[in-house]
Structure 1
Amino acid sequence: MEVLIPEKKRKRKSKPTTTTTKTKKKKKLEKPSSTPQQSTPNPIPSLPDDLVFHIIARISRLYYPTLSLVSKSFRSLLASPELYKTRSLLGRTESCFYLCLKSECCKGGPSWFTLCRKPDQTITNDETSGERKSRGYALAKVPLSQSPNANFSSLVAVGSNIYNIGVPQSIYKASSSTVSVLDCTSHTWRQAPSLPVELFRLSASVLDRKIYVAGRYADGDDSNNMKNTFQVFDTRTQVWDHEPIPEDGLYFSNSACIDGKFHLVANVAAYNAKEGRWDILGKSGMSRYMDTDTHCDIENVLYSFSDGALRWYDSEVREWRILNGLVGLPKFRPGAWVGLADYGGKMMVLWAETAGALVFYQKRIWCAEITLERRKSCEIWGKVEWFGHVLTVSADCNFQKVIAATV
């Protein structure tokens, strides 16, 4: 009996010790999972974070709007800087096409849309007509809380950012120096360094990741005394520099960059950035089809839509010529608004047609992707990769610009 009594006491003492040990072990196991994660939530917990980034990075950006609907964690991942760093390291960056659309009846800012692929849709070939049609593409609305005002000449793309330069935030203000930046990876707006002067009118273009802005500003308090100004923004250093510009005999409506020079049109003047020199070219063939907001420059060639046709111009030919080919592309109706954009060396064409009856008019927006080829005959031919109806909006909506960023 004397031997058994101590054993019972030891057993009683050992029970709480065992329970305490198990509790401590549980706490140690639960502690990592209870701490909040600092990085982007993993939408596929069964896979390591690095592997998830590598998988999603290999998927075309055209599918991201659809993937963002899966869950909040997917939306967070698709907007994370780590994903786009991975895309860059894997060489998976691509052009991302955007449309800036403004409703005349809406008091707020413009709406933004981006091109995406519909799930389970493919391009179909019509062998009888040679057309390549697609119902697999659409324009998805970009989820932005509020966007600043914008117009054709103020929007330029540099890398994954779209810069909106010098646009008044109110219709009651004629000039502005504000610069807003749309980050096309996270779809958020931020402010960039403002223009040194408030501009009443401007035209901006991009050359070697620098934004060249020519504009007019009021000298003093007299709004009738307008002067020219020329500002250059280095997107790497985020610094504005003032460059000289001719005061007399220079007027302009639009701009473009070809042959390593910034060209102002209509009374054509070309700025050589390397030499810091302006060459006044006067009235030239370049200005003939550059007086509208339907033009773009792609690999040292200007493209424009006018009089129902797509045309091109370069410094070798020095005249506007019809873009050949375009088999299957429908003819544009009279009065149709057409927008052009550089889509990674290809040309993206967007146009709108009004359809409906009485007050229920709507605009059907169509899109076409065109591959460009320069042939030995000094002609450029366009091949229609696909075209199709991508969006329907109210008739009071107007295009501000079509533009492509690299993401």
Structure 2
Amino acid sequence: MTNNPIAPPHDVIVNILARISKSHYRSLCLVSKNFNSLLSSPDIYFVRSLIGNTEARFYVRLWVRTPSSGHRHRWFTLGYRQGQLTLVLVRALSSSYSPDRLNSTTVAVHSEIYQIGGSNENKPTRAVRVLDCRSHTWRSAPDMKVARKHAMSYFLDEKIYVIGGCKKTKEKMSWGEVFDLKTQTWKPLPKPPSNDNYVDGAVFGGRLYVFTINNEKYAYDPTEESWVQEAGFEGLEGITGPWCIMGSLIFAEYHRMYVGYDASNGKWLMVHGLDEVHTKRTKNSRTIQLVNHGGKLVIIWDVWHMCPREHKSIWCAVISLEERLTQSGNILLGKVERCNVVLDLVHKSYKLSSCQSYINIKTLVEYESHSSETEALAEMTTNPIARPRKKIKKMKKPPSFSSIPDDVIVNILARISKSHYRSLSLVSKHLNSLLSSPDIYFARSLIGNTDARLYICLWLPTPSSSHRDRWFNLSYRLGHLTLVPARRALSSSYSPDRLNSTTVAVHSEIYQMGGSNGDKRTRAVRVLDCRSHTWRRAPDMKVARKHARSYFLDEKVYVIGGCTQREETMTWGEVFDLKTQTWKPLPKPPSDDYINSYHNGVVFGGRLYFFTTKNNKKNYAYDPKEGRWVQEAGFVGLEGMTGPWCVIGSVIFAEHGGIFKWYDPRNGKWLEVHGLNEVHTKRAKSSRTIQLVNHGGKLVIIWDAWHMRQREHKSVWCAVISFEKCLFPSSYMRGRVEECRVFLGLAHKSYKLSSCLSVLV
């Protein structure tokens, strides 16, 4: 007698099924009616998003011919059947909103596809419809302000940008529109300052780029809400066909060959290894779409038949890509995973009007904002691959968090990585409130569950020719390092915009001290709470400082230098006590030599060390317990260091002549860190190391590289290096390059990385 699979509780079964690949759901739904019901419910997608078990799905929209001599849109998913790529028809359950409009524009937004505008009997329309790819249901969305057809749409920073497609008489006032997903409202998007026609656009590096017929490029920054003319992307003007972006590369077809554009150096690289694709493409073929599908390149093309001439075939290839280093430089190597015809001998009127790849990362809270649809979604079976059921049975509502005490919920949430908090905050207002409260961080600190987060402050130019600080998180998205703008501070009145200030990480906060306001030094101190992303004031320093250096040791903040020479004798440094919230003077070391407060200082072994600039090898250590400076004879060879360095455990890392080394305090020697060939290869002669940071025990290296062709621009790179603990503190150190890539490509030379700190939250 077999065990009943329905015996476990409802939530346990859902939790298990959510960890299974969605490709197996078609078979699992045949196990029982209960399984079919669970696999069709919104609960399964909610749990999948919580545990991060999401899959990229590929949707194709065809404008097909019907027996009534008319045409209609049909949606398909691209899947595998018997080892071949196959188009599987999608059946939408709520077809009342299903739009049949030619010349509309579509864009993938998380787990949904927005279909915007188009023509209805040759008239442009303002209508917007949304296809939920989890339940395969249509719903209405707020209409645009202006009717459009043949428009272009892009998704950036939780907003949808729709450009063009309106009448010329309306183009000056309504060239583009922006739809805010949070407020569900449309706002006008101003036109870039050019009279040329715009032929294409792309989302790249957190910006929206548009290109004109005369090869002008304009970039729209959503944080600044303004257009800036860009001088980069040389060589893109020759591309007139489809393209797509994967990571930091742009892929396109050029002279019937597939190539990748590296924005960091403005070069095109041919994709090798695609002989199977080129062989199956005839002279009559035409590339229709290039799509980034979960990090793989999907190529779709059609082939016209000579006989019969009224018909064509549609082919598809899935390519995995790899960048390899050879003696002649970097090459792009593609591996053809699948390449076959997906639609054979169809009438020439068949048109592929859309091709989207989505990743199911949204949660159930999406439905809470549409109360009229919530009950309907809870009642119907929405499994896109299950057989349609004749009767719709009402499902029981899942248990709510409101039935669990707050202290229990907080204790559970405190054990979850903070990287999941953004998704969890969407579950309900109550859960969002708990995740934003100080209780959650107090509980995390009690159990020792803290995550290291890397914060970067960029000094950016603004349209008014001034500059402003912008804070970012350097985190992983889809397996790659990406700059993610930190949420805007709630109390922005205290947010400082001061150049030449000094910053230091203090537990879960960042202290920003001094700096220049205009040409004047300042005493101001501001604190950024990295848990709530809010600014607050702190007691000002006794002396105004800029270009100072700051260190954190034994629950005190040490600020050294940065004052005028006249004040340096009496006020060389200051100490801020976190407990008493007071500043006290820090005496200068007892030396007649000049102490270089700008470069040479390090916290090591519970002491603050400083070194003289002359070759007398005098090193001074400040012991906070004794409250005085002591001359040290150790650290031979550190006095010559002028560049960035950092301390990880008992090891000091720095750069010597373009080689990264570590300092062995036992024999006072600098030894090379092995295993960093990838970093040295990607660093050009014009590169300069900006920061070395201890990020949770890993070494983060940040450097910039100046472009030879665009001398006004540079790229900022980042590498994450891990070390094996068993090698400490032997005389041989090997690092492993976990990530090495550009995270800010073709930035203007005025961009300045003013701070990079690792914070525990």
Same fold per TM (> 0.5)? yes
Alignment correspondent of 2:129: 180
Alignment correspondent of 2:208: 262
The percentage of aligned residue pairs carrying the same residue is 32
Residues 344 and 65 of structure 1: CA distance in aligned 2, closer, same or farther (over 3 Å): same
Runs of 5+ consecutive residues of structure 1 not aligned to the other structure: 1-42, 122-133
Q: Is contact 1:157–1:163 with CA below 8 Å preserved after alignment? A: yes
Is 1:91 matched up with 2:42?
A: no
Is 1:352 matched up with 2:352?
A: no
1:317 maps to which of 248, 252, 265? 265
SS at match of 2:196: coil
Residues 182 and 46 of structure 1: CA distance in aligned 2, closer, same or farther (over 3 Å): same
Runs of 5+ consecutive residues of structure 2 not aligned to the other structure: 361-761
Alignment correspondent of 2:252: 304
Alignment correspondent of 1:243: 189
Match runs of 1:6-405 below 5 Å: 45=6, 47-64=8-25, 76-104=37-65, 107-118=70-81, 121=82, 134-135=83-84, 137-144=85-92, 145=95, 147-149=98-100, 154-168=105-119, 170-173=120-123, 175-218=124-167, 226-227=171-172, 229-246=175-192, 248-267=194-213, 268-281=217-230, 285-289=235-239, 291-292=240-241, 294-326=242-274, 328-331=276-279, 332-338=281-287, 339-354=289-304, 357-358=307-308, 361=311, 363=313, 365-376=314-325, 377-392=329-344, 394-396=346-348, 397-405=350-358
Q: Is contact 1:325–1:383 with CA below 8 Å preserved after alignment? A: yes
SS at match of 1:110: strand
SS at match of 1:323: strand
Q: 1:404: Cα distance to partner? A: 0.5
Q: Is contact 1:104–1:398 with CA below 8 Å preserved after alignment? A: no
Residues 75 and 236 of structure 1: CA distance in aligned 2, closer, same or farther (over 3 Å): farther
Residues 143 and 226 of structure 1: CA distance in aligned 2, closer, same or farther (over 3 Å): same
TM-score, length-scaled by structure 2: 0.41
Q: 1:248: Cα distance to partner? A: 4.1
Give the distance between the partners of 2:28 and 2:309, measured in 1 at CA.
36
Give the distance between the partners of 2:154 and 2:177, measured in 1 at CA.
11
Residues 155 and 225 of structure 1: CA distance in aligned 2, closer, same or farther (over 3 Å): closer
* Structure 2 residue identity aligned to 1:381: L
Give the distance between the partners of 2:269 and 2:104, measured in 1 at CA.
24
Give the distance between the partners of 2:284 and 2:212, measured in 1 at CA.
23
Q: Is contact 2:6–2:34 with CA below 8 Å preserved after alignment? A: no
Residues 300 and 140 of structure 1: CA distance in aligned 2, closer, same or farther (over 3 Å): same
Give the distance between the partners of 1:255 and 1:298, measured in 2 at CA.
15
Task: Report which structure shows greater RCO (CA 8 Å, sep ≥6).
Answer: 1
Residues 264 and 386 of structure 1: CA distance in aligned 2, closer, same or farther (over 3 Å): same
- The superposition leaves residues 97-156 of structure 1 with CA deviations (integer Å, 9 ceiling, x where unpaired) of 1111112566343111112333xx4xxxxxxxxxxxx33x42210013474246687111
* Structure 2 residue identity aligned to 1:304: A
Give the distance between the partners of 1:68 and 1:330, measured in 2 at CA.
40
- The superposition leaves residues 198-253 of structure 1 with CA deviations (integer Å, 9 ceiling, x where unpaired) of 235421112233222222534xxxx6564352222222332323232236423112
Give the distance between the partners of 2:267 and 2:101, measured in 1 at CA.
31
* CA root-mean-square deviation: 3.2
Q: Is contact 2:179–2:186 with CA below 8 Å preserved after alignment? A: yes
Q: Is contact 2:302–2:312 with CA below 8 Å preserved after alignment? A: no
TM-score, length-scaled by structure 1: 0.73
Q: 1:197: Cα distance to partner? A: 1.9
Residues 178 and 76 of structure 1: CA distance in aligned 2, closer, same or farther (over 3 Å): farther
Residues 100 and 201 of structure 1: CA distance in aligned 2, closer, same or farther (over 3 Å): closer
SS at match of 1:82: helix
Give the distance between the partners of 1:273 and 1:361, measured in 2 at CA.
45
Residues 187 and 356 of structure 1: CA distance in aligned 2, closer, same or farther (over 3 Å): farther
Q: 1:281: Cα distance to partner? A: 4.9
Shifted more, 153-162 versus 303-312: the winner is: 303-312
* Structure 1 residue identity aligned to 2:357: A
